[in-house]
């Protein structure tokens, strides 16, 4: 069998499974919206203040939403034994992990990117900043999925995995948060957002190259 049909069928399987359990995705999106809406309620609805905190709030909410969706990455396949079959199958595990990460981003990262402009309007962001925010999320959320895959693989089947994955993964998310929110803040201050966006792109390139290898190693350790 050629390599191309394998990645295609793997990706199709992941997306089909996600589509059959659509409620999970919708719940995650609502979590994102609710978390973002809590901040004006807690801090106050002064438009100037909201404009100031919007990049950080949206980015932190995206971080937390991604983190909450991580347990779905491997848990289902682990519970019904599919994961062991995938490990035994002849194609490289790195490829399998990369496909699963891509599927995770398509299901829980991309919807956040598409929803973010709407929420940004609620925070009274200007058009240019909304564009920068969306672009930064588009570059940054795949990195969150890539790092998160490592955390999910390490904590597979461990008791208290939900809290543990947060403790492991959130510190590693900090650079993405800083560059992502920083690009929007720079743009709002009249500076070029290019530095932050370029650095996000660099993190994405690093993550694509090394993330799947580390996650595959972690998965082998968890399942041996």
Give 114 or 174: the residue with its C-beta nearer to other proteins.
174
Q: How far is the CB of 145 from other proteins (least distance, A)?
A: 15
Nearest distance from residue 81's CB to other proteins, in Å?
18
Q: Which residue's CB is nearer to other proteins, number 5 or number 171?
A: 171
* Cβ-based nearer residue to other proteins, 80 or 224: 224
**Applying CB under 8 A, which residues contact other proteins?**
150, 154-155, 158-161, 164, 167-168, 170-172, 174-175, 178-179, 182, 199, 203, 210, 214, 217-218, 221-222, 224
User: In whole angstroms, how close is the CB of 212 to other proteins at the nearest point?
Assistant: 13
Residue appearing with tokens 């994405």: 204
CB of 144 to other proteins, least distance (A): 13
Please, which residue, 40 or 182, has the CB nearer to other proteins? 182
């Amino acid at each position: 069998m050629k390599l191309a049909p394998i990645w295609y069928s793997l990706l199709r399987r992941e997306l089909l499974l996600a589509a059959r359990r659509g409620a999970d995705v919708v719940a995650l999106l609502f979590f994102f919206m609710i978390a973002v809406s809590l901040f004006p309620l807690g801090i106050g609805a002064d438009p100037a203040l909201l404009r100031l905190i919007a990049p950080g709030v949206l980015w932190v909410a995206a971080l937390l939403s991604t983190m909450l969706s991580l347990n779905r990455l491997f848990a289902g396949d682990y519970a019904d034994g599919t994961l062991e079959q995938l490990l035994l199958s002849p194609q490289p595990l790195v490829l399998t992990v990369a496909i699963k990460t891509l599927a995770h981003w398509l299901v829980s990262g991309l919807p956040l990117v598409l929803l973010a402009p709407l929420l940004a309007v609620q925070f009274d962001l200007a058009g240019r900043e909304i564009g920068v925010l969306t672009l930064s999320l588009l570059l940054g959320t795949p990195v969150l999925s890539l790092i998160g895959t490592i955390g999910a693989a390490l904590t597979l089947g461990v008791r208290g995995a939900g809290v543990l994955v947060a403790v492991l993964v959130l510190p590693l998310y900090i650079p993405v948060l800083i560059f992502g929110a920083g690009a929007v803040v720079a743009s709002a201050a009249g500076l070029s957002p290019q530095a932050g966006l370029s650095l996000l792109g660099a993190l994405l390139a690093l993550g694509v190259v090394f993330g799947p290898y580390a996650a595959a190693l972690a998965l082998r350790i968890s399942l041996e």
